[in-house]
Amino acid sequence: MKHNSGESESRHEIMFREKFFVSTALSAPVLLYSSFIQGLFGFSLPAFTGSSLIVPVFSMIVFLYGGIPFLRMGRDELEDREPGMMALISLAIFVAFTYSMGSLFLSGSSSFFWELVTLIDVMLLGHWIEMRSVRKASGALEELKELMPDTAEKITENGKDKVRVPELEEGDKVLVRPGDSIPVDGKVYDGESSVDESMVTGESKPVDKSEGDEVIGGTVNNEGSLRIEVTATGDDTALSGIMNLVEEAQKSESRSQKLADRAAGWLFYIALGSGLVTGVAWTLAVGFGLTVIERVVTVLVIACPHALGLAVPLVVAINTSMAAQNGILVRDRIAMEEARTIDTVVFDKTGTLTEGEQSVVDMKAVSQEDEVLGKMAAAESDSEHVIAEAIRNKAEDRGIDIPESSGFDSISGKGVRAKVGGSEVHVGGPNMLEHLEVKKRFEDFVERSGRKGRTVVYLVEDGEVRGAVALADRIRDKSREAVKKLQNRGVEVAMLTGDSEDVAASVAEELNIDTHFAEVLPEDKDSKIQELQNQGKKVAMVGDGVNDAPALTRANVGIAIGSGTDVAVESADVILVKNNPMAVVKLLNLSDLNYSKMLQNLFWATGYNALAIPLAAGIAAPVGVMLSPAVGAGIMSLSTVIVAINAQLMRRKSINP
């Protein structure tokens, strides 16, 4: 059964719960005064004037009160000419009620009253369980909503004011104290702390934040105070975007869901066909009579596959929430199912496998490396160039005390110069060496760096080359592990980049990637994906830029890095909240788990019908085995419980590589 929103699911859950308890209470007199139940358990209740009406009257009340929701939804399916689960349930209870009421006026016939009320009770219980399970499975979405605080401490000219979060606007400044939730997306302009982003990104470790770092609304500040400038509010926040994607994914139909819906439609016609065949066969065997009618009614009553309605939706709901908890947002349910079939993953290089910014990756020095690096950082202290920033960051990472500098001067196209420790130092590339007419050094280092497509920057002190650093786009920490894990799964890993062959080959070698495409123009990325597909490969593309959008769309599964451009995100089937290639491995593992649980649930759900319908038709009658509606309802209930428990067991499975 499909519902359009979390509110609708909650409303249906309450309705089915209330109707279950009331119907069960009203069913008690029917069971107690049923001759079959009394005979089965060896007891009797005193008869009195009107006691013979207890069973039919209370059965009618249960039918009208508890059965009406199913009849209405079944009617809607038939009007749409798309019979499914509700049509099957409606058929079962309507036939059971009509036959039982008719039996009151036919001598020698037996009624299905206690079976009718039991069937309705089981159906109400099953749908209550379904609604409750789906609501719980969707709990991640509710938890995300609860992450956002109601108020924030706004910094004003007069001090600080407590305001409602919706009142905040872009450009406002807020104070986030230790232990508080960050109210909006923003950028830190003062303070240092660590932030728990686990509910949003799936990252278990707190993330250090300082001036210039971006923060996400709904995440939790830890030990330090942060002053944040608001960059996004309301529906524009990352958390809001995540919630919308999760909600859309939970509503969307997968291929498995469509298969289950079609199966319910087929079973409706199978039930009618089985009833017809049963009627003809028994008529030919024993002649037309009450026995024939009873067999036909039994087939129609127990053909109801309630577990089938729960089999796929519950797995989908749990799967989606598990994905969100691990920083994986699924926009297309079909993509989640197809991910398990992927045999080739193509990564964009810059910003995906690499950091997308220059970093010092190697160095050479005449004396102490830290001393050389410190002097280079000092000379570059006033420069805003990306190379200068990379050198300063490397010095900071090493914990080097950067000496004081003075007399900074930028030499266009050649480098910089400054006074450091009483000496004149220059920092720059080969053009600077030619300009200064100094002797080159470290030829092997320079040649090796050149083969790998790295940029070499020298330190010249007092007219002599004292050291050199090699810069490149630094490979992400998790890239090596992700490539290895994918290859261990039997998945081929390829890399796509617009960089030179030297750079591409160097990164591919470092990551142990066998296939790489270098110097690929943006408009040609799409054709490279198609080229792999023409070889019969199932391809997933992972990218983050505008020029990746056509390739993401072309791929069997398009995966966008969440921090990438809006165009890339909109072109993708799956979005990774955090720039972590390991999330691709998690996606494939989750797809495997999703598929196996769906198959298991469909087996348990359809197994009931495969067993019950032939037995109800009387195929085993020659050996004395006849399936009654009561036993059928019991098997149906067991099937539903198994499906619900099996789906919930997904949560115990780890998708960590």
- Sign for the CA dihedral angle at 553, 510, 205, 391 comes to negative
Confidence of residue 67 (pLDDT cuts 50, 70, 90): very high
Which helix (H) or strand (E) segment holds residue 481: the answer is: helix 479-488
Q: Is the pLDDT of residue 4 over 50?
A: no
Q: What percentage of residues in the chain have a pLDDT greater than 70?
A: 85
- Residues 422-427 have a mean pLDDT of 90
Listed residue (244, 334, 327) closest to 575, CA to CA: 327
Q: Of 15-19, 190-194, 453-457, where does mean pLDDT reach its minimum?
A: 453-457
pLDDT at 109: 63
Q: Which residue has the tokens 């995906």?
A: 352
- Sign for the CA dihedral angle at 94, 100, 101, 107 comes to positive
CA–chain centroid gap for 146, Å, is 19
- Residues 634-639 have a mean pLDDT of 70
pLDDT at 339: 92
Maximum Cα–Cα distance across the chain = 121
Confidence of residue 264 (pLDDT cuts 50, 70, 90): low
pLDDT at 592: 93
Q: Report the C-alpha gap between 329 and 166 in whole angstroms.
A: 25
pLDDT at 3: 39
3-state secondary structure 75-110: HHHHHCCCCCHHHHHHHHHHHHHHHHHHHCCCCCCC
Output 3 or 583, whichever has higher pLDDT. Answer: 583
Contact predicate 188/156, CB 8 Å = no
Write down the catalytic residue from 348, 473, 544, 548. 348
Q: Report the C-alpha gap between 91 and 261 in whole angstroms.
A: 17
pLDDT digits (tens, 9 = 90+) for 318-354: 887 788 788 888 877 788 888 999 999 999 887 788 8
Confidence of residue 256 (pLDDT cuts 50, 70, 90): low
Q: Is the pLDDT of residue 249 over 70?
A: no
Listed residue (340, 215, 273) closest to 83, CA to CA: 273
- Residues 466-474 have a mean pLDDT of 89
348 a catalytic residue: yes
pLDDT at 541: 93
pLDDT at 587: 94
pLDDT at 137: 46
List, in sequence order, every beta strand (DSSP E) within 262-366: 328-330, 344-348, 354-365
C-alpha dist (Å) from residue 528 to 350, 507, 514, 515, 523: 17, 19, 15, 12, 10
pLDDT at 334: 80
- Residues 153-159 have a mean pLDDT of 87
pLDDT at 540: 95
Residue type, 578: K
Note the helical H segments in 154-233. 198-201
Give me the phi and psi of 49, to 5 degrees please: -60, 120
pLDDT at 173: 93
Q: What percentage of residues in the chain have a pLDDT greater than 90?
A: 24
Which tokens in the block code for residue 619?
Answer: 């195929």
Q: Is the pLDDT of residue 628 over 80?
A: no
Q: Is the pLDDT of residue 246 over 90?
A: no
What mean pLDDT is reported for the chain?
A: 82
pLDDT digits (tens, 9 = 90+) for 191-224: 988 888 765 654 546 788 888 888 888 888 887 8
Contact predicate 386/511, CB 8 Å = no
pLDDT digits (tens, 9 = 90+) for 273-316: 888 998 898 898 888 877 788 788 878 877 766 666 667 777 87
Q: Is the pLDDT of residue 250 over 60?
A: no
Q: Is the pLDDT of residue 2 over 60?
A: no
Confidence of residue 245 (pLDDT cuts 50, 70, 90): low
SS3 content of the chain, % helix, strand, coil (to 5): 55, 20, 25
Confidence of residue 258 (pLDDT cuts 50, 70, 90): low
pLDDT at 386: 75
